[in-house]
Amino acid sequence: MSHRVYKTSFASVYPLYVAKAEKKGRTKAEVDEVIRWLTGFDQAALDDQIARKTDFETFFAEADLNPARANITGVVCGVRVEDVAEPLMREIRYLDKLIDELARGKAMAKILRA
């Protein structure tokens, strides 16, 4: 099953992640740090994904996903992330949850499951 969000460009959603974090006193650098932790991209590769306007499907396909992401639990958009069956949707929800935790003021070490 292919959701419309899979074909949405990551670049179109990225500014919303940054805005959500900045509204709560966090920084774009912290958003990037969280995304890099999850995806394994370095800053140049992350910037390249944004510049290329890759969709979420490609974004996650090209990522070297952090195995510790399985420790991300909780509810985002009314759904428990660990219960999302569709693999790509679960990756998107993991990212949503990390941004949510950042915006709620959680310590970076806890967000990064350090």
Average pLDDT for the chain? 95
Check: CB of residue 45 under 8 Å from CB of residue 38: no
* pLDDT given at position 1: 56
Question: Could you report the average pLDDT of every consecutive run of 10 residues in the chain (114 residues)?
Answer: 86 97 97 98 98 97 97 92 94 96 96 89
* pLDDT given at position 114: 77
Tokens 């991209």 belong to 41
Token digits of residue 99: 């941004």
3-state SS class at 31: helix
pTM for this one? 0.94
Tokens 């915006």 belong to 103
Strand bridging mode 75-76 / 79-80 = antiparallel
**DSSP bridge partners of 76:** 79
* pLDDT given at position 42: 98
Q: Which domains does the chain have, with CATH numbers?
A: 4-111 (1.10.8.290)
